[in-house]
Amino acid sequence: MKREHVPVLVVGGGYAGLSTALLLAWRQVPVMLVERHAGTSIQPKAFGVGPRAMELLRPVPGMERALSEIWAGIGDGMRIAIAPNLGAPDPHMIVSNSEDEFGFLPEVTPVLPIGAPQAEVERILRARAEELGADLRFATELVSLDQDAEGVTAVIRAGGADSVVRASYVVAADGYRSPVRGMLGMPTTGKGELGQMCSIMFDADLTELVREREVTLWYLQNDVFTGVILTGTGVGAHVLGVNHGPAESETFTEERCVELVRIATGVPGLDVRVLDKATFAMAHVLAERYRDGRVFLAGDAAHTMPPTGGQGGSTAIEDGCDLAWRLWLVLSGQAGPDFLDTYDAERRPIGTLTADAQLANLGVRMPPALRTDYPEPLDDPIGALLGRRHHSTAILNEPGDDGSILEDPRVPTGRPGSRAPHVVLDRDGRRISTIDLFASGFTLLAGPRGADWTRAGRLVAERLGVRLTRVVVGEDLVDVEGRWQERYGVDEGGAVLVRPDGYVAWRSPGPHPDPETTLDRALRHILSR
């Protein structure tokens, strides 16, 4: 039997798996991905890529431009409505991603959320990962997995032939029912399966229905079914999702699908061509832990959530990007093995928060008779987009930290555990964001009187073998708007240490008599050294 070795084996070729492979390949970590399907999805599935996910993908050359070229419409006018059908007058508008709601984004991030179906995003993730050298194997199934103290042994099957892969670490991004999670016996919580949905891709001319109606996603509630419909710009492919019970899975014949599309649009004689159909479960399932030895859960394997709110796909991308930089630090010897425990400590609270918020949204958008035993929606959903905080051994929280996991991104603090604030800088006549400084390693930002910090940073980085970029703001880079000190909570002699994911790990508001010892202790603690 053929045997292969790879530092990281990824199981699953959706958002979480592809983003893990992409960001590992970009960091020159050899990675193999296996996916049982023959290719990426042709169904739109999740819609949109949020600003935090875009920040994490932005460092990979060409990614932001490629995604923006699909459709940048979500930033200037995605609308969501509740109605019996597309032709119903005066639909109830429940969300408006308008200038009023998201006009603050240019103040806090250099990116915009992207409006794009998952099928198109996956295609771009796959192509770029392969260009960077990731070994992506579709039509390949994981058969078994065993781990020991030194690594993981997996048997994979392609074309009826089995082979053995020996990996240092495995990322299980294999979906809601996650065979890997089952093999390891990892427990879950949550409300479980909430129902099933048949997703019907169809071609029809909806021009008269969508013209001058800035509605992209409809929640349909009528006498025949409840569901959703995702419309394009008129002529072309659209998607209808119909909620149904387990016993109805076999009833979605092509004729029935055409009938349902006509009911959903409110046009009895509409000319409809069914392109594809797929059934998936809508569920609220949370893994009780994201790590089992050398295996990590990501995406739906870690947190399956209802689609109401549109953050499931972005959260999966964030999982993959987050795992990639942590695995890179450990595999390159910059961090100790225990550093990987911080993935569970930081990502699981975020996964739970997001899944619960989407469950709450589902309760709001369901027919009144079904709105029972659901949590309340978030008071400020904006905080869940860019204001999430982390608490783990990879963060040196300051005395008096309140332990909160959300803060208002419109009022950045720069405190450890928070996402490093966006500040416009000038580099040799070119405007950049602080966000652009972080992904390639740790970054030490010092005030204009903080050169002692950067000199100490050079010595500590050489001693520990850590990739550390050192910047004196006001000398190496120009603070264009004079906002860096305020947003990062430091004076002219202070310094901030930012991780590769753009989160503040440590901060000194002012100068220190022994910056070298201080930085050495901070980095050793953060990196589990």
pLDDT band of 47, cuts 50, 70, 90: confident
Decide: helix, strand or coil at residue 45. coil
Is the model more confident about 201 or about 46?
Answer: 201
With b for 16 or more beta-carbon neighbours within 10 A and e for fewer, the 135-148 pattern comes to bbeeebbbeebebe
When mean pLDDT is compared across 151-160, 180-189, 202-211, 409-418, the lowest value belongs to 202-211
- pLDDT of 365 reads 67
> Rounded to an integer, what is the distance from CA 382 to the centroid of its chain?
16
**What angle (nearest 5°) sits at the alpha carbon of residue 91, between those of residues 89 and 93?**
155
Torsion region of 121: left, alpha or beta (phi above 0 gives left; psi -120 to 50 gives alpha)? alpha
The mean per-residue pLDDT over the stretch 382-389 comes to: 86
Of the candidates 343, 368, 410, 395, which has an alpha carbon nearest to the alpha carbon of residue 523? 395
Query: 424-427 and 430-433 as β-strands: parallel, antiparallel, unpaired?
Result: antiparallel
**Where in the chain is CATH 3.30.9.10?**
73-111+190-285
Q: What are phi and psi of 182, to 5 degrees?
A: -65, -40
- pLDDT of 239 reads 87
When mean pLDDT is compared across 42-51, 182-191, 343-352, the lowest value belongs to 42-51
Answer whether residue 101 shows pLDDT above 80. Answer: no
387-526 CATH, one of 3.30.360.10, 3.10.310.40, 1.10.10.10, 3.40.30.120: 3.40.30.120
pLDDT in tens, 232-244: 655 567 889 898 8
- Please identify which residue in the block is written with the tokens 């958002």: 15
Answer whether residue 74 shows pLDDT above 50. Answer: no
CA–CA distance, 394 with 346 (Å, rounded to integer): 9
Decide: helix, strand or coil at residue 424. strand
Beta strand spans in 150-221 (E): 152-158, 161-172, 188-205, 217-221
Q: Give start and end residues of each alpha helix (H) in 71-117.
A: 99-102, 105-108
- How buried is residue 395: exposed, middle or buried, by Cβ count under 10 Å (0-12/13-18/19+)? buried
Half-sphere exposure (Cβ direction) of 88: Cα atoms closer than 13 Å? 19
Q: Give start and end residues of each alpha helix (H) in 132-271.
A: 179-184, 207-210, 254-265
Answer whether residue 419 shows pLDDT above 70. Answer: yes
- pLDDT of 1 reads 82
Answer whether residue 45 shows pLDDT above 90. Answer: no
- pLDDT of 75 reads 43
How many percent of the chain have pLDDT more than 90?
70
Give the list of residues 6+ apart from residue 298 with CB closer than 8 angstroms, or none: 16, 17, 20, 171, 172, 173, 290, 316, 319, 320, 323
Cβ 349 vs Cβ 392: under 8 Å: no
Half-sphere exposure (Cβ direction) of 316: Cα atoms closer than 13 Å? 34
pLDDT band of 196, cuts 50, 70, 90: confident
Answer whether residue 207 shows pLDDT above 50. Answer: yes
Cβ 434 vs Cβ 420: under 8 Å: yes
**DSSP assignment string, 266-289:** T-TT---EEEEEEEEEEEEEEES-
Annotation says 219 is catalytic: yes
The mean per-residue pLDDT over the stretch 116-132 comes to: 93
The mean per-residue pLDDT over the stretch 216-225 comes to: 81
**What angle (nearest 5°) sits at the alpha carbon of residue 398, between those of residues 477 and 469?**
30
Decide: helix, strand or coil at residue 412. coil
**What angle (nearest 5°) sits at the alpha carbon of residue 107, between those of residues 106 and 113?**
35
pLDDT in tens, 489-514: 999 999 999 999 999 999 999 999 99
Query: 217-221 and 79-83 as β-strands: parallel, antiparallel, unpaired?
Result: parallel
Return the number of other C-beta atoms located less than 10 Å from residue 154's C-beta. Answer: 25
- pLDDT of 233 reads 57
- Among residues 219, 290, 488, 503, the one annotated as catalytic is 219
- pLDDT of 72 reads 46
Is the model more confident about 75 or about 454?
Answer: 454
**Where in the chain is CATH 3.40.30.120?**
387-526
Q: What are phi and psi of 452, to 5 degrees?
A: -60, -35
Distances (CA, A) of 524 to 21, 154, 392, 527: 27, 33, 14, 5
Single pTM value for the model: 0.91
Q: Residue 508 pairs with which residues in a beta bridge?
A: 495
- pLDDT of 119 reads 86
Decide: helix, strand or coil at residue 1. coil
Q: What are phi and psi of 341, to 5 degrees?
A: -65, -20
- pLDDT of 362 reads 81
Joined together, the tokens standing for residue 525 give: 């603690």
- CATH number of this structure's domain 2-72+112-187+288-384: 3.50.50.60
Q: Write the DSSP symbol of residue 421.
A: P
Of the candidates 118, 128, 132, 126, which has an alpha carbon nearest to the alpha carbon of residue 50? 118
What's 73-111+190-285's CATH class? Answer: alpha beta
Q: What is the dihedral of CA 35, 39, 45, 48, to 10 degrees?
A: 100
Average pLDDT score, the chain:
90
Is the model more confident about 112 or about 382?
Answer: 112
User: Residue 130 is inside which H or E element, if any?
Assistant: helix 118-131
Half-sphere exposure (Cβ direction) of 191: Cα atoms closer than 13 Å? 20
- How buried is residue 38: exposed, middle or buried, by Cβ count under 10 Å (0-12/13-18/19+)? exposed
Answer whether residue 78 shows pLDDT above 80. Answer: no
**Where in the chain is CATH 3.50.50.60?**
2-72+112-187+288-384
Joined together, the tokens standing for residue 380 give: 């400020």
Joined together, the tokens standing for residue 483 give: 């906002």
- pLDDT of 216 reads 65
